[in-house]
Amino acid sequence: MASTVHSDSDDGMDAFMDKFKTQRYKNAFSENDWEEEFNKIPMFMKNAPEEIDPQKYPELACLQSIIHDEDRPPEEQAKSLKDEGNAYFKEKNYQKAVVAYTAGLKKKCADQDLNAVLLTNRAASHFYLGNMRSALNDAAAAKKLKPDHLKALIRGAQCCIELRHFSEAIQWCDEGLKVHPTDKKLRELRAVADKHKRAAERDARKAKAKEKKLHGEKEALLNAIKDRGIKLVQPVRAHRSGSDSEDEDERSPAAIAELSLDGLSSQEVTGAQVFVDEQGSLQWPVLFLYPEHQQSDFISAFCENSCFTDHLAVMFEELPPWDADRKYLPQNLQVYFEDEEKETLYRVDPEMSLLKILQHKRYFVKAGTPSFIVLVKGSSYWKQFLSGRKIHGLTSCSN
């Protein structure tokens, strides 16, 4: 029995209240998007938007301008910026944190404790961003302002460790321990830095020992070659100084001794290298050239005591596919080496050991790989190849 029990003064009120039963109020949250709407209200926001567009978020923009009001004293502004930075830091938004702290430092307020904190916090942000040098610089600046600032000291030490500057890290820890002698973190960092430092020293010693060993082996090899009177030559294209008498220089004993093993390693694809075997004999990588067919063969370890006959017998047991004429039978083959300088061919006695051949006074090992020319005796190519050249038969070897 809703009787009209309104007094005169409540007229407007009742009418007003009645409206709610029927009319929606303006700008009401709808059932669908009330959560989103809530998130737009500063007080109820779960996350702040990345950028504050005053059109979309007028209240936020308003708050921001209050916070960053240029009329407030610099200390207050700096503190607000510090808080802002800290908030970003908590969210792991380190880039934004850096921006905020930097803005805070720009205020150049007189509160050095605050500035030290701003620097230290920015250092932490840089640390998590992986900018170790920036972090270290900030920590050092903070330390300068406040030499006993524990967080700055710890951060500085941590940065040094990440940068692998272990001695510096220990210095930071020691500085810190002077002021905070019982701090556990500093103690632990010092022990870690010390351990790494000593491990790095060990690594350096190990590398040096290895290098020395390698060098020793190189020298022994070069000596073995030199002792046999075998002459090594750098290939002309690899020679740097390019003097006219470079060949002369290279043949002198001193030059030979100075040749690094790079002069020995094969410039060919193989990468094989001469070495001393367990019996103390040299094993050479040897190149066999077949100019008739533009072919070559490679023996990676030709023992100096073995001879060509032995190898050729094995190599040409089955004739190679490029030997169209089927004529490269071991007994038909002749081996030569070329003395480039004198443009002379020397014929090799295939029964002679490689060692004796290499010791020939006109034999020069190029690029650490002795090479020899193989021809078929009596063939037309053979005639052609040998015509017009100086030829020596091999009678004696070294001189």
Partner 1 sequence: MLSDSEVAELLSFLTPSTRPDVKGQATEYILGLSGNRDGCRFLRSKPDLIAALFALTSDPSIAIVKDCYHIFINLSADETLHQVLLKDVKVLPVLFKNLLDPEYPFSDQICTILSNLTRHEKTCKTLFKVLQEDVGMAQLVQIFCTEGYNKNAKLHYLGPLLSNLTQLPEARNYLMDKDRCVVQRLLPFTQYQSSVVRRGGVIGTLRNCCFDHAHHEWLLSDAVDILPFLLLPLAGPEELTEEENEGLPVDLQYLPEDKKREEDPDIRKMLLETLLLLTATKAGRQTLKEKNVYPIMREFHRWEKDAHVTAACEKLVQVLIGDEPEEGMENLMEVEIPQDVEEKLKEAYAKEQEELEKEEEKRKQAEEEDEKKKKSDSEQTDREQESGLIK
For position 198 contacting partner 1 by CB under 8 A, the verdict is: yes
Stretch that binds partner 1, among 12-20, 100-108, 194-202, 330-338 (CB under 8 A): 194-202
- Pick the binder of partner 1 from 107, 126, 190, 360 (CB under 8 A): 190
Q: Does 206 bind partner 1 (CB under 8 A)?
A: yes
Residue 144 beta carbon to partner 1: minimum distance, rounded to whole angstroms: 21
150 makes contact with partner 1 (CB under 8 A): no
Under the binding rule (CB under 8 A), the answer on residue 191 touching partner 1 is yes
- With respect to partner 1, which residue has the nearer C-beta, 173 or 274? 173
Q: Which residues contact 280 (CB under 8 A, 6 or more apart)?
A: none
Q: What is the C-alpha separation between 331 and 335, in angstroms, rounded? A: 11
Q: Does residue 390 contact residue 342 with C-beta atoms inside 8 Å?
A: yes
Q: How far is the CB of 174 from partner 1 (least distance, A)?
A: 8
CA atoms of 38 and 29, how far apart (whole Å): 9
Pick from 68, 92, 208, 389 the residue near partner 1 by CB under 8 A: 208
Q: Judged by CB under 8 A, which stretch of 126-134, 145-153, 201-209, 288-296 contacts partner 1?
A: 201-209
Q: Contact region for partner 1 (CB under 8 A) — 53-61, 100-108, 110-118, 200-208? A: 200-208
Give min distance, CB of 154 to partner 1, in A. Answer: 14
Residues 326, 318 contacting (CB under 8 angstroms): no
Residue from 72, 185, 187, 239 binding partner 1 (CB under 8 A):
187
Alpha carbon dihedral 373, 376, 378, 380, in 10-degree steps, equals -80
Q: Please report whether residue 342 would count as binding partner 1 according to CB under 8 A.
A: no
Of the candidate spans 49-57, 173-181, 258-266, 308-316, the one that interacts with partner 1 by CB under 8 A turns out to be 173-181
Nearest CB to partner 1, comparing residues 62 and 207: 207
Residue 280 as a binder of partner 1 (CB under 8 A): the answer is no
Which residue in 271, 241, 279 sits closest to 258, CA to CA? 241
Judged by CB under 8 A, the stretch of 80-88, 114-122, 192-200, 214-222 that binds partner 1 is 192-200
| Number of residues counted as binding partner 1 (CB under 8 A) | 21
Q: Is residue 214 within the footprint of partner 1 (CB under 8 A)? A: no
Residue 166's closest CA among 189, 183, 188, 148? 189
Query: Which amino acid appears at position 300 of this protein?
Result: S
Shortest separation between residue 210's beta carbon and partner 1, angstroms: 9
β-strand pairing of 295-303 with 390-392: unpaired
- DSSP letter at 189 equals H
Report the residue number, 10 or 174, with the smaller CB distance to partner 1.
Answer: 174
> CA separation (Å) from 174 to 46, 137, 178, 183, 214?
44, 18, 6, 11, 40
Question: Which position among 69, 113, 201, 219 is part of the footprint of partner 1 (CB under 8 A)?
Answer: 201
Instruction: Determine, following the binding rule CB under 8 A, whether residue 211 of this chain makes contact with partner 1.
Output: no
What letter would DSSP give residue 338?
E
Euclidean distance between CA atoms 93 and 101, whole angstroms: 12
CB-wise, 195 or 361, nearer to partner 1? 195
Half-sphere exposure of 369 (CA within 13 A, CB side): 23
Q: Which residues make beta-bridge pairs with 283? A: 275, 303
Residue 195 binds partner 1 (CB under 8 A): yes
Which C-beta is closer to partner 1: that of 204 or that of 313?
204
HSE at residue 108, side-chain half, CA atoms within 13 A, is 0
Number of CB atoms found within 10 A of residue 221's CB: 17
Residue (48 or 150) nearer to partner 1, CB: 150
- Rounded to the nearest whole angstrom, what is the least distance from the CB of residue 149 to partner 1 in the complex? 19
Contact status: 178 vs partner 1 (CB under 8 A): yes
Helix (H, G, I), strand (E, B) or coil at 374: strand
Q: Calculate the alpha carbon distances from 91 to 80, 96, 97, 125, 159 in Å.
A: 17, 10, 9, 11, 22
Q: At what angle do helices 132-145 and 112-129 cross, to 10 degrees?
A: 160
Binding site for partner 1 (CB under 8 A): 173-174, 177-178, 181-182, 184, 186-187, 190-191, 194-195, 198-199, 201-202, 205-206, 208-209
